[in-house]
Amino acid sequence: MRWNVKEEPNPEKVISLAKTLNIDILLAKLLVLRNVETYDQAKAFFRPNLKQLHDPFLMKDMNLAVSRIEKAIINKENIMVFGDYDVDGTTAVSLVYSYLSKTHKNITTYIPDRHNEGYGISYKGIDFANDNDISLIIALDCGIKAVAKISYANDRNIDFIICDHHRPGKEIPKAMAVLNPKQEDCNYPYDELCGCGIGFKLIQAIHQKNKKEFNTLIPYLDLVAIAIAADIVPMNGENRILASFGLQVINQNPRTGIKTLIHQIKKPELTITDVVFTIAPRINAAGRMKSGIHAVELLTETDFDKAKQIAIAIELFNKNRKEFDQRITKEALKKIEDSKETTHFTTVVFQEDWHKGVIGIVASRLIEKYYRPTLVFTKSGDFLAASARSIRGFDVYKALEACSEFIEQFGGHKYAAGLTLKPKNYSKFKAKFEEVVKNSIPKELLTPEIRIDSPVFLADLTPKFNRILKQFGPFGPLNMKPIFTSSGLRDNGFGKRIGGDKAHLKLSLITGSDTKTYNAIGFNLGEKQNLTNNGSPFEIVYTVEENYWNGVTSLQLNLKDLRAE
């Protein structure tokens, strides 16, 4: 790994901010590195305020969307809330459905089947609407590239409101309204909302037009926070505000379905990390292994006993997901090793019986091993379907655009995308993708980088320091948890490899003449124990965490890497 310490910020700004806020220099430095340089900026950073949210009517087509929904309610039309099968899509559907169903009873939900319908708006979903006299479909977290399908719906007198955050194509679908801040002619001030975030702006607009108190929308923010965390969108601007208040809802009074997912977590307070690794995978498992509609049922159910039964089923889906994930990852790794393709600039693998619901997870696992832009393909009907994942700094979406001659359909983000192609084009696509990446990727990106905020002495990591550091959250892209480095460390002799496969490293660190020990855990760093058990000093890169065990909370260093001095 490349260890890169961030450039030192202006020392005068750091000293001035430290005095203004009455905090130590290190904390002030971390703030200035995040472009927080004044008292007012610090207040906005540490105390997010719902009044800082933008007016939803600044979003292109919002007036049209609200008017069309109001018309449907007045005329008692049948409305379908349609969404993708992942966390962002299912939370968005749950949010809009639970809001509109309070005043409109002629409303249903629809999540496409990952295997039979694929990603996004489907002809089958439109036919279902047509057969059931549904005249308005609100599509969430999908639809921005569904030009032909929207035309198909228009021919059947079915109106669409698209709420999407993916990159638009050259042509925008001719829907009744298209809510997507990434449209070139949309002047909304913030374009990094997730799909559920745009769904929230839609209900905020309806709420605002009807002159209702904003505070009555706060209970919906648990869903928005989960979507923001799971979709890995930037944790700044509106996302940070929505996630902050959403976390409060999760910790204080979450909806019934979420209570069933978190009631066994014995922690005094859940963080965004807990959402990412505990709540989101279970919601996702429904769409990966069975149907995303189970997630919507869980998130909209108000009876605890009924919700608990759904949660038990989803827990089984999640268990099956883990088993498929582990097996397919092993098979993919063997394929790559047998093919001798590990020196390439990309990783592209295919097996026709791989479960479509987990290939995105497998792609992420392969990046952990080989650190290359990665695609994992499986058979899907008459086509091959793939999930693409990228490495930091490389835009895989643009790379796929350059290969579009061999692709039937694709969509996504800079770091994650999905696509389908004809089997006969697989080899041509694979060669083209390798060529595009090889000719466009800076070679240094092929080695993982750790960007370090600052060197520190372990003695500086006091409980007071940690209390303030926690307030830097919620963490995510563009506001990552601060990463530190410390040197001159030794293990006190009690370090050991842990985990079923001894993959992880648990250490008790000492430094210099300091008699205090510092607990540290290094996930997937077990193979580096030889650097810590020979008595020689070493240096580490880490984040500061809290470990909660048997009712006691203690500081713990989460190691990202270590090396001999």
Residue 385's CATH number: 3.10.310.30
Q: How many of the other CB atoms lie within 10 Å of CB of 475?
A: 20
Which residue range is the domain that position 533 belongs to? 450-564
In this predicted structure, what is the pLDDT of residue 440? 96
Q: Strand order of the sheet with strand 107-110?
A: 107-110, 78-83, 134-140, 159-163, 177-179
For the chain, how many structural domains are there in total? 3
Distance of CA 321 to the CA centre of its chain: 18
455, β-bridge pairs: 485
What's phi and psi for 134, nearest 5 deg? -90, 125
Cα separation, 513 vs 155, in Å, equals 78
User: What does the pLDDT read at residue 513?
Assistant: 75
102 shares a domain with 242: yes
Q: Cα–Cα distance between 407 and 517 in angstroms, integer?
A: 56
Q: Are residues 302 and 346 in the same domain?
A: no
Tokens 């919700």 sit at which residue? Answer: 307
CA–CA distance, 45 with 286 (Å, rounded to integer): 35
pLDDT of residue 263: 79
C-alpha span between 279 and 257 (Å, rounded) = 11
End residue of a domain, out of 274, 297, 312: 312
Which among 312, 327, 348 is the end of a domain?
Answer: 312
Return phi, psi of residue 299, to 5°: -80, -10
Q: Please identify every stretch of the chain with a pLDDT value under 50, giving residue numbers as ranges.
A: none
Instruction: Judge if 287 and 386 occupy the same domain.
Output: no
Q: How far is CA 563 from the centre of its chain?
A: 30
The verdict on 439 and 467 lying in the same domain is: no
Kindly list the distances between the CA atom of residue 328 and the CA atoms of 116, 164, 283, 286, 317, in Å, as whole numbers in the listed order: 21, 31, 21, 18, 16
Give the pLDDT of residue 264: 67
CATH value at residue 496: 2.40.50.460
* pLDDT score for 541: 98
529 Rama sector, left if φ>0, alpha if ψ -120 to 50, beta otherwise: alpha
pLDDT on residue 515: 78
Instruction: Report which of 252, 263, 47 is spatially closest to residue 36, judged by C-alpha positions.
Output: 47
Condensed to tens digits (0 to 9), the pLDDT of residues 492-524 reads 988 999 998 899 999 999 998 777 899 999 999
Paired tokens of 505: 């490293």
Give pLDDT, residue 116: 84
Q: Tell me, yes or no, whether 459 lies in a domain.
A: yes
Residues 203 and 165 in one domain: yes
* 420 and 456 assigned to the same domain: no
Q: In terms of domains, do 167 and 285 share one?
A: yes
Residues 483 and 529 both lie in one domain? yes
Same domain, 473 and 400: no
Residue 291 in domain: yes
Angle, alpha carbons 133-173-237 (nearest 5°): 105
Q: Looking at the structure, do residues 149 and 257 belong to the same domain, yes or no?
A: yes
Give CA–CA dist 479/241, Å, rounded: 13
Domain assignment present for residue 295? The answer is yes
Cis before 455 (ω within 30): no
Phi-psi domain of 105 (left: phi exceeds 0; alpha: psi -120 through 50; beta: other): alpha
Do residues 112 and 214 share a domain?
yes
Counting Cα atoms < 13 Å in the Cβ hemisphere of 421 gives 22
Specify if 320 maps to a domain.
Answer: no
The confidence score (pLDDT) of residue 342 equals 67
CA distance linking residue 281 with residue 301, whole number of Å:
19
User: Are 547 and 554 a contacting pair, CB within 8 Å?
Assistant: yes
Q: Enter the pTM of the model.
A: 0.91
Neighbours of 47 (CB within 10 A): 10
**CATH code of the domain in which 218 resides:** 3.90.1640.30
- Mark whether 495 and 559 lie in a shared domain: yes
